[in-house]
Structure 1
Amino acid sequence: MASVLLACFDSFIGDHRQAIRQIQGGLALLETLRAERRQASLPQPEEPVEQDLIQMFTRLVIQAKSYDLAFHFPQPYVIRLTPNVGVTSPSTPGGGPPVSTNNALIPEVFASLHDGRLAWDTLCEKFMRFTEEMSAYVKMSPMNILPIELKQYGKGFDQQMEAWSSAFDPILASRMAPAKSTQEKTAIAVLKMNQIMGRILFNMTFCDSESEFDQFLPSFRDIVNLAMEVIGDEERRAAAKRCPNPDFCQHQPAHSDIFGGEYTAKHIKASFSADLGIVPPLFVVATKCRDPLTRQQAIQLLRTSSRREGMWDSELCARIGSWIASVEEEDDGVADFQRPLSSSTEASRLSIGSPSSMCSGSPAFGEDIPLGPGGNARWGSRRESSPLSPQTRTEIRLVPERKRIMVRAVEFDLQKRVATLQCGSRGLIPGMRDPRRRDTRIVW
């Protein structure tokens, strides 16, 4: 319990290194306790820690591991899920003891949001463990990118993620019910965002080209749509509390607006949550989506939301995404590759506006959408006519592969608000010269 609490406190004050140390210490303690129970010669040694604490600790481990995968920390700030890697063979992944003890099969339909979250946490830990273990066997694996021939080993995870998505669909649709509380509606949207992100990143583990991310453009837009729901509802509640009379509102937006001037959340205050939320999925969109409009929407949502979720800081993520976008989209005098939008890449799969509506790109909030608990927040009523709306575009300009870069290392201090960012080519073997390498220092 002390490890959990101290990890949360360290995340709150922005000391991610100490937070990772706390999680590492708790992970070692948990394994020691379990080893002692196994050595006690009990017929069925019980779990030495309460299940609720195991769930919290599992989520902290996933959070720390996601942070490492995004920013590529050096030792000793790396969470290891497979301490005994090398003992087992790659045909039997998962040699280390699990953090979570939940091994229930994914049902046809989840009975509750809680069940869906437990199943996703377990699945997330398993494929993180698989990726870590496979990377250890592939000695020259660049930045955790696995050879395509290993994809067969991980095929089952993609099938399980698809099964999870199908089982979660009824709960996802239920978020639009008028009786649904705002808190539960947000939790549903956030869980779906993280599942979409997880599936993208797992499938990209076997790809050595950044262009492969283009196939997930509808998924990137789904993430942005869901984030707009979450932030929109927060903005509506904050505006009603801070400025009950809009005619006398003195709050002004702090950032430029990509949504046509009607979607800047100017009433939301900075917030902290010990659990993951919208920041990691939006960071993936900001750094991996090469549709400039969708990417800029993600960056604005990060800056507007002003939140820290565990060790994830929205402002740092927004600035990293913004810098990568500026590098990739800078004019080098060579014509960019253009591709017309097709029905398969343009349509968002999620129903955002109402239970019966389907829209592409970002959602349109009409006058018929309820604004009470469980309803979508409406930041403006003219979204459909916005000149920046994806619905009005007939073609999309994607960043060409020759200009694409990925994060290779980030050293930062959230307390001093400074970061050193190194980016370069995907799939490059460590030690090789990288012609795309770019470095920068970010201060905010």
Structure 2
Amino acid sequence: MSESPPGSPSGNDQYQSDNASRHWEVALKHYSLAINAVVQSPSHDEAKKRMSLMASVLLACFDSFIGDHKQAIRQIQSGLALLETLRADRRQASLPQPEEPVEQDLIQMFTRLVIQAKSYDMAFHFPQPYVIRLTPKVGMTTASISDGGPPVSTNNAKIPEVFASLHDGRLAWDTLCEKIMRFTEQMSAYVRMSPMNILPIELKQYGKGFDEEMEAWSRAFSPILTSRMAPAKSTQEKTAIAVLKMNQIMGRILFNMTFSDSESEFDQFLMFFREIVNLAMEVIGDEERRAAAKRCPNPEFCQHQSAHADIFGGEYTAKHIKPSFSADLGIVPPLFVVATKCRDPLTRQQAIQLLRTSSRREGMWDSELCARIGSWIATIEEEDDGVADLPRPLSSSTEASRLSIGSPGSISNGSPAFGEDIPLGPGGNARWGSRRESSPLSPQMKTDTKLVPERKRVMVRAVEFDLQKRVAVLQCGTRGLIPGMLDMRTRVTKIVW
């Protein structure tokens, strides 16, 4: 409907509305034709099955784009069944050769779609039939926990000392991420009473190898992460490096917390949360700088306005970025984790503002919905319940990095602090000005020295929503509660935007 955020200058609104409606009609017409073509074409031979798998990828992306996550999940479920049929046919025909290059690319794309759908399911806890299953339900034994059915991806390469390229790092992470999701799914099915995919601590030994693999991946990726600051690095590759690292940090946090029934244990990952925010600031900052240079080459005549409150001391002005869609995961899921799991109020509010300002939909992940969920959780946890809370113990290292600017984690990985002296050359960061400790903060930031006690902490238990109608019903409650027990922290709300 509009190229700019709300409050920005625009042309003829009626023309934009009519033009958008025509595009919508044409898109739905061809979407309907594509659905009918898939239904009417019997998938008997391998070529037609591959064609149907390609169609499921495209249709899932289209459904995500228009905000129909339920239909997108159905497409991915259909594609998973097709992929298994294809592989069963190959096994039956005793074909020793690996997949063709075109099929390898297709499987890579589909693996990422499956990871995306599974992450969505794990975050919002969908009911049947919108649950993505990566493993079979039958034959579940402790011996089969680490196996349990063929994976989606076909990459079996060991993690090297150093990745030769960003592409190799991404393939390795996709494979590892899928293996971890399959492990968690199988463990949750094995432990019948596992609430919200939280596993007993005594089962942690089964997953110890994954933590070691994630550490090995991080070491192998470290030179590439540092290289993103090189002047010759393209903006696209720099962004891809930062985004991949953000998702790896998120994956490591969530996997380790799978074995904990206490929300307070997320506090040990505060430096990781800050690193996610720093990397997201790089991505959005660079995007804002490019958009501003293109849309307002003369800043003196810029009429664009920010539609969101600013907590960065008046210097955060990402107001030129257009709403965008990507079929792949990016910055939204990691920032959602920070917004809902980080109890440092300032870091959490930075993540929420980055979600609101970036105006993104990454696959099924919508930044505005995630920002609103994060805001609701923050409001519940930080509200005054009449009981005096303990002050947050601030060590010197914590004090030095409270503003998520140049945290030790990002400095060690070659990411400089955001300050006044950073150049804006090729591959450089967008400079949003200095944001100092003395910068004016919004009222909700006054609780920065308070520790959110465990008694007030909640987790997202269910989210029912319609992105097309922009309405959602959110439910939160106690972490680790056995299903059926009374939950005194249960809260439900409806949001419309």
TM-score (norm 2): 0.84
Give 1:336 deviation, angstroms: 1.9
Give 1:262 deviation, angstroms: 0.5
Counterpart of 2:493 (choices 424, 440, 444) is 440
**What is residue 17 of structure 1 aligned with on the other side?**
70
Give 1:50 deviation, angstroms: 1.0
Give 1:396 deviation, angstroms: 3.3
User: C-alpha separation between the residues in 2 aligned to 1:395 and 1:296?
Assistant: 11
Counterpart of 1:58 (choices 94, 101, 111) is 111
**What is residue 378 of structure 1 aligned with on the other side?**
431
- Alignment of 1:47 with 2:106, yes or no, is no
Give 1:394 deviation, angstroms: 13
Other structure's SS at 1:350 match: helix
Counterpart of 2:389 (choices 336, 340, 350) is 336
Aligned residues: 434
**What is residue 360 of structure 1 aligned with on the other side?**
none
Q: Is the 8 A contact 1:273 1:309 kept in 2?
A: yes
Bigger CA drift: 304-313 or 393-402?
393-402
Amino acid at match of 1:332: D
User: C-alpha separation between the residues in 1 aligned to 2:448 and 2:351?
Assistant: 20
Counterpart of 1:364 (choices 418, 422, 440) is 418
Give 1:169 deviation, angstroms: 0.6
Counterpart of 1:303 (choices 356, 361, 364) is 356
Q: Is the 8 A contact 2:126 2:463 kept in 1?
A: yes
- Alignment of 1:70 with 2:123, yes or no, is yes
**What is residue 146 of structure 1 aligned with on the other side?**
199
Give 1:94 deviation, angstroms: 2.6
Q: Is the 8 A contact 1:425 1:436 kept in 2?
A: yes
**What is residue 225 of structure 2 aligned with on the other side?**
172
Other structure's SS at 1:50 match: helix
Q: Is the 8 A contact 2:345 2:448 kept in 1?
A: no
Cα distance per residue 1:60-108 (max 9 Å; x no partner): 0000000000000001101100024434435642311100010111111
Q: Is the 8 A contact 2:284 2:358 kept in 1?
A: yes
**What is residue 321 of structure 1 aligned with on the other side?**
374
Amino acid at match of 1:13: I
Aligned ranges 1:383-402 → 2 under 5 Å: 383=436, 386-387=439-440, 396-402=449-455
Give 1:382 deviation, angstroms: 5.5
Cα distance per residue 1:96-134 (max 9 Å; x no partner): 110001011111111111010000000000000000000
The change in CA–CA distance for 1:114 and 1:343 in structure 2 (over 3 A counts) is farther
Give 1:384 deviation, angstroms: 6.8
- Alignment of 1:124 with 2:193, yes or no, is no
User: C-alpha separation between the residues in 2 aligned to 1:107 and 1:210?
Assistant: 34
Aligned ranges 1:265-304 → 2 under 5 Å: 265-304=318-357
The change in CA–CA distance for 1:177 and 1:397 in structure 2 (over 3 A counts) is same
Cα distance per residue 1:273-318 (max 9 Å; x no partner): 0000000000000000011111000000000000000000000000
User: C-alpha separation between the residues in 2 aligned to 1:90 and 1:281?
Assistant: 33
Give 1:345 deviation, angstroms: 4.6
Q: Runs of 5+ in structure 1 lacking a partner?
A: 358-362
Give 1:341 deviation, angstroms: 2.0
Q: Is the 8 A contact 1:84 1:96 kept in 2?
A: no
Aligned ranges 1:386-425 → 2 under 5 Å: 386-387=439-440, 396-425=449-478
Cα distance per residue 1:352-388 (max 9 Å; x no partner): 599485xxxxx42222x22122100002245576355
The change in CA–CA distance for 1:353 and 1:235 in structure 2 (over 3 A counts) is farther
- Alignment of 1:225 with 2:278, yes or no, is yes
Q: Is the 8 A contact 2:315 2:432 kept in 1?
A: yes
Other structure's SS at 1:421 match: strand
User: C-alpha separation between the residues in 2 aligned to 1:69 and 1:251?
Assistant: 38
Bigger CA drift: 76-85 or 55-64?
76-85
User: C-alpha separation between the residues in 1 aligned to 2:314 and 2:332?
Assistant: 22
Q: Runs of 5+ in structure 2 lacking a partner?
A: 1-53, 402-406
- Alignment of 1:349 with 2:408, yes or no, is yes
The change in CA–CA distance for 1:158 and 1:382 in structure 2 (over 3 A counts) is closer
Q: Is the 8 A contact 1:91 1:153 kept in 2?
A: no
Cα distance per residue 1:322-371 (max 9 Å; x no partner): 011011111111122222222565553334599485xxxxx42222x221
Cα distance per residue 1:150-199 (max 9 Å; x no partner): 00000000010011001111111111111111111100000000000000
Give 1:39 deviation, angstroms: 1.3
**What is residue 197 of structure 1 aligned with on the other side?**
250
Amino acid at match of 1:429: I
Other structure's SS at 1:423 match: strand
Other structure's SS at 1:397 match: coil
Amino acid at match of 1:349: P
Q: Which has the larger radius of gyration?
A: 2
Other structure's SS at 1:340 match: coil
User: C-alpha separation between the residues in 2 aligned to 1:304 and 1:11?
Assistant: 20
- Alignment of 1:159 with 2:212, yes or no, is yes
TM-score (norm 1): 0.94
- Alignment of 1:94 with 2:124, yes or no, is no
Q: Is the 8 A contact 1:285 1:298 kept in 2?
A: yes
Q: Is the 8 A contact 2:306 2:318 kept in 1?
A: yes
User: C-alpha separation between the residues in 2 aligned to 1:206 and 1:154?
Assistant: 10
Other structure's SS at 1:35 match: helix
Aligned Cα RMSD in Å?
Answer: 2.0
Amino acid at match of 2:433: G
**What is residue 45 of structure 2 aligned with on the other side?**
none
**What is residue 106 of structure 1 aligned with on the other side?**
159
Amino acid at match of 2:162: V
The change in CA–CA distance for 1:177 and 1:143 in structure 2 (over 3 A counts) is same
Aligned ranges 1:25-36 → 2 under 5 Å: 25-36=78-89
Bigger CA drift: 176-185 or 124-133?
176-185
Cα distance per residue 1:30-82 (max 9 Å; x no partner): 0011011111234x253377111110000000000000000000011011000
User: C-alpha separation between the residues in 2 aligned to 1:395 and 1:379?
Assistant: 22
The change in CA–CA distance for 1:107 and 1:345 in structure 2 (over 3 A counts) is farther
The change in CA–CA distance for 1:202 and 1:6 in structure 2 (over 3 A counts) is same
User: C-alpha separation between the residues in 2 aligned to 1:168 and 1:11?
Assistant: 30
Q: Is the 8 A contact 2:278 2:410 kept in 1?
A: no
Other structure's SS at 1:201 match: helix
The change in CA–CA distance for 1:417 and 1:53 in structure 2 (over 3 A counts) is same
User: C-alpha separation between the residues in 2 aligned to 1:433 and 1:426?
Assistant: 12
Other structure's SS at 2:236 match: helix
The change in CA–CA distance for 1:384 and 1:429 in structure 2 (over 3 A counts) is closer
User: C-alpha separation between the residues in 1 aligned to 2:454 and 2:294?
Assistant: 47
